[in-house]
Structure 1
C-alpha cells in the first residue's frame, strides 16, 4: 500500500508542469543567458513554457524562438506586477515561476521544488535563495511580516529577518522575494494575481500576505539557488527611491492600521 502511494506521488510530481514568466525592462542584455540557463537547469519534462513579457518599447528582444518560448510586447511599461499578470493569463503550467531577467539559475534539481508542492498541499508559494555576484546571500530575499516596529528596528540595524534569509534549511515565512518565486497557478488566480497598484516593489509581500490569508503557507527554500545581478531596471536612482517609498506607503495603507500608515506616509514625504 505504501509503495503504491509512493508510485502515485512520483507520477503526480512528474505530471506537474512549470511555466516560467520573465518581465523585461531595460534588461534585454541579460535575457539570453537567463533563458539559456532556464533551459539548461530545468529538465524539459517539467518545463511547459517560457513566457517573456517585454515592458520596454525601446528594446527589441532577439532570442531563439523555440516551441516553448513566447514573447509578449506591451505597448508601455505597465510595471512588474502587471507585466507578470499578463504572462500568467497565458501560462499553461500547474506551477508558475516568476523570474527576474537579471537572474541566473544555479540549482539543477527542479523536481525537488515541485516535490515540495506535492508533499504539502498547504504550501502554495516557494521562494528561492538569492545569491549576489560575490556569492553572498542577498539580503531581504525573505522575511517576517512588515510593521512599523519592524521598519524602525530595520533602520536601526536590528534586522530580525536576516535569520530567515541566512537559513540553511527550509523555513515557513511571511514572504519571499518575487525575484525567483514559485506559486501554484490556481492559487495565483484565486487571489487575483499581483495587485497592479504596486508599480514596483512590495507586490511580492502583498501577494504572499493575501495567500497566507487563505490559510496557505509560504516556504523559503534555500536549497534552490539563483544568482541575482540586480539593479538594472533603474538608471535613475531617484525614480527607484520614489517607487520604493510609494509602494511601501500603499502596502501600509492596504494591510496595516491607520496610525502605522500615517507615520509611514509622513516619513515618506521627507524621503522622496
Structure 2
C-alpha cells in the first residue's frame, strides 16, 4: 500500500467485486460513492451484471470499472468466484449493490487493521442500516436454534473485541461487505457455489476458521446497507434458502466449527 501526500492509496492492493441482479440505480449510487473517494483512485471494480441491464459505465474518472455481462444468471458465490479471476491484488472485497459510503471508504481502515492480525482471512466493516443503526451483521454459529431465536426477534448484535480463530468462540460475517486476503481466498477455493441466499457467507467464514485463518470486524470503519431480503418476498428464494440451510447443517464446515475440531 502506497502513501501519496498523506493519503492511503489502495489501487495496487485492492480489487472490488459487485454483482447486480437488476439493481440499476442502487448499483449506480454505489459506484458514484466509490468514484468520489480519492483513496480509491485507480482501484479495479469488477461489476457483474447477472441479468441484462442497459447501463453505461463510461463516466467514472477515479475507479477502473471492468464489466462482466452474464448470458445466464449465476449464484452469489459463482459470480464472485468469476470476478476473482480478475484479481491480482492482495485484497479482494465483495460488496452488495445496495450499499452506500456515507463519509469515508472503509477499506483503508480494514487494511490497517489487517496488518495487526496474524493470518487474517477476512475482515468486515461495521454495517449500519439506512437509519444509522448497527445491523446484526456479525453472528454466532448458524444453528436451527439460532434461527428460531431470530424468528422471534432475538437477533442480538455481536460486538467482538478480538478476531476469531481456532481456539476462540466462532462468529461469522454477513456477506454484504467482506474483504478477503486474496491468498486465503485462493487457498480455500473461494465460495462454495452449491450454497445460495445467506448461507454462502456463513460457509466461507466457517471454512476459513476451520483452516486456521482469523476473521475480524473493524469497529472504526462503516458502510451503510439498505437490506434487500428477497427470501422474505419470494417462495422460490425461500426454497433456495432452506435448501442451502440443509446443506450447511450437513457440511463438514458446520460440524468442524460446531464441534471445534
Which 5+ residue runs of structure 2 have no aligned equivalent? Answer: 165-169
Is the helix fraction higher in 1 or 2? 1
In the alignment, is the contact (CA less than 8 A) between 1:22 and 1:99 conserved in 2? yes
Change (3 A) 1:63 1:14: closer
Question: What is the CA–CA distance in structure 2 between the aligned matches of 1:111 and 1:123, rounded to whole Å?
Answer: 16
Q: Where do 1:1-272 residues align within 5 Å? A: 17-41=13-37, 43-44=39-40, 48-57=43-52, 59-64=53-58, 66=60, 68-108=64-104, 110-139=107-136, 141-159=137-155, 162-164=156-158, 167=159, 172=164, 174-231=171-228, 236-255=233-252, 256=254
User: Number of matched residues?
Assistant: 242
Change (3 A) 1:226 1:201: same
- Bigger radius of gyration: 1
1:141-162 deviation digits (Å, cap 9, x = unpaired): 1111222343344445554xx2
Change (3 A) 1:223 1:168: farther
Answer with 218-227 or 176-185: which moved more: 218-227
Question: What is the CA–CA distance in structure 1 between the aligned matches of 2:183 and 2:249, rounded to whole Å?
Answer: 27
1:222-248 deviation digits (Å, cap 9, x = unpaired): 322111112176795222322221211
Question: What is the CA–CA distance in structure 2 between the aligned matches of 1:133 and 1:235, rounded to whole Å?
Answer: 19
Change (3 A) 1:117 1:249: same
In the alignment, is the contact (CA less than 8 A) between 2:9 and 2:40 conserved in 1? no
Change (3 A) 1:71 1:107: same
In the alignment, is the contact (CA less than 8 A) between 2:19 and 2:80 conserved in 1? yes
Structure-1-length-normalised TM-score: 0.78
Question: What is the CA–CA distance in structure 2 between the aligned matches of 1:72 and 1:84, rounded to whole Å?
Answer: 11
In the alignment, is the contact (CA less than 8 A) between 2:175 and 2:198 conserved in 1? no
Question: What is the CA–CA distance in structure 2 between the aligned matches of 1:26 and 1:13, rounded to whole Å?
Answer: 31
SS at match of 1:23: strand
1:197 Cα offset (Å) = 0.6
1:163 Cα offset (Å) = 3.9
Q: Which residue does 1:266 correspond to in 2?
A: none
